Chains A and B, each alone.
Chain A
Amino acid sequence: MIPIAAVNPVAKLGAGLIVSLFLIVTIDWVSATTALLLELSIIAFMGIEPRRFWLRTLPVWLAAPLTALTIMLYGRYGGDVYFEFLFIRISDGSVELALATFLRVLAIGLPAVVLFISIDPTDFADGLAQRLRLPDRFVLGALAAVRMVGLFLDDWRSLELARRARGVADRGRLRRVAGQGFALLVLSIRRGSKLSIAMEARGFGGDTPRTWARESRWGAAEWITLIVGLLIGVAATVVAVLTGSWTFIAR
């Protein structure tokens, strides 16, 4: 079993970006298939519960055929044309591109989503500030706001109850959601202003160098994660170039 949950989120982010980078520059079914097979064989050993895996990756499985359909109908044409209607033109070329697109969306999307399943916001922020050296005031400010999501949900429920008590909850669902969303934004900005005063009062944003309660570790596992990402990308590219199907996107 691969203990992917324990890997530094920055390494997961990096590995996902590396794989994507190799797959973005080409549009062909060989590189996408190679990458997809390698990715699926690794994902199989990650020990993700099947239910969780399918639930989280469901949007990718839906998006892949839809994007492919768009390309099949409106993609660049070539070879025999099978069907033509207004802007729609299905041809050998567009069918081939659609197949490549389908596999490519899966190959880019699946690892991107799977690598993000187990990321905890606090670990992510620690990694971004300590490892990538992003400005700590901004990273911790964002983390504080992310931690307020639970409060947002409570507020939303309170707003709903308040509107129901006033007897204005049953009129036009869309308008109600928009109005309630705006009220929530006002509430959260007010709360953010208060929070910033509290943070400043405790020395946040001061001039003394920051120390960290939780150290963001970087060791062999993180390097291996990055190297595996690199290897998948290189393997997909090499196989595609050798079979002569590697196609640069801006040809």
Chain B
Amino acid sequence: MPAQGADTLETRAIHQMKGTKVTTTAPSTSTSTPLRSRFQWRVIDIVVASVIGVASGLIFVVWNVASSPALAPFAALLPGLQAVGGGFWLFAGVLTALVIRKPGAAIYGEVVAASVSALIGNQWGVLTLVSGLTQGLGAEIVFAAFLYANWRVSGAVLAGAGAGLAMAITDLTIWYVGAEVSFAIVYTIAAVVGGMLIAGLLSWLATRGLAATGALNRFGAGREIAKRV
């Protein structure tokens, strides 16, 4: 009888779980299906993506303060050219995606970095999260367009361009509304170029460097390098 009592408790607990829970347990135990495991986030993916996001967020905080004086000469040279420095706010998503190689990694990394930047305190407050979301989305769309299979330098640079374009659209609608068309065009081109070089190329180089240290041995990005050596 006591055994049966325990049994009913257990079955009740199972019934309390959602139906979806039961279905998700089945594929997670059989990780042999390649497509499923390639797109599924492991715990290490989540934690390391978060760590990269937070570390990037700290760099954002430094750049939030340093960007105005650093970019003033660019703005004076050609109005809108200061957007080229925006790349230092765009690399988080691309870098996270290049390391983790999972759907949503670019959005996640950029949003975590933006949250850290907003929590520590900056001039954009809540809207930092909006920027983070759109910029991450810009990079994410590019990686998705390659079906999450292009992690080479071309994919990284194009994702950086996507993030730059997203940043230009967001900034021009939220902050620089009354600007002339020429300003908007220069701003957009500068943002895309900055995104390609800083967010794209630099992130790709950083990923290669990280892989070479062996820190990414548990990720696809790290194993690829190890094979080549």
Contacts and interface: CB of A to CB of B under 8 A. Distances in A.
Interface of A: 13, 16-17, 20, 24, 27, 56, 59-60, 62-63, 66-67, 70-71, 73-77, 87-88, 94, 97-98, 100-101, 104-105, 108-109, 111-117, 119, 121, 124, 137-138, 141-142, 144-146, 148-149, 152, 181-182, 184-186, 188-193, 195-197, 199-200, 204-205, 207, 209, 249-250
Contacts, number: 189
Given A146-B54, A199-B43, A74 B179 contact: yes
Nearest to A75: B178
B215 interface: yes
Contacts of B225: none
Contacts of A200: 43-44
Interface in B179-218: 179-180, 182-183, 206, 209-210, 213, 215-216, 218
A67 B126 contact: no
7 A-B pairs closest in CB distance:
A112-B125, A97-B178, A145-B50, A59-B123, A16-B126, A192-B51, A196-B47
Interface string B128-158: 0110000000000000000000000000000
Interface residues of B, number: 62
B43 A71 contact: no
A149 B50 contact: no
A70 B206 contact: no
Nearest to A199: B43
23 contacts: A70-B179, A71-B179, A74-B80, A74-B180, A76-B178, A76-B179, A76-B180, A87-B182, A97-B178, A100-B178, A101-B178, A113-B123, A115-B126, A142-B112, A142-B115, A144-B50, A149-B58, A195-B47, A196-B43, A196-B47, A200-B43, A200-B44, A207-B24
B48 A193 contact: yes
Interface stretch (B1-9, B30-38, B168-176): B168-176
B119 A62 contact: no
A62 B126 contact: no
Contacts of A182: 206, 209
A20 B179 contact: no
Contacts of A181: 59
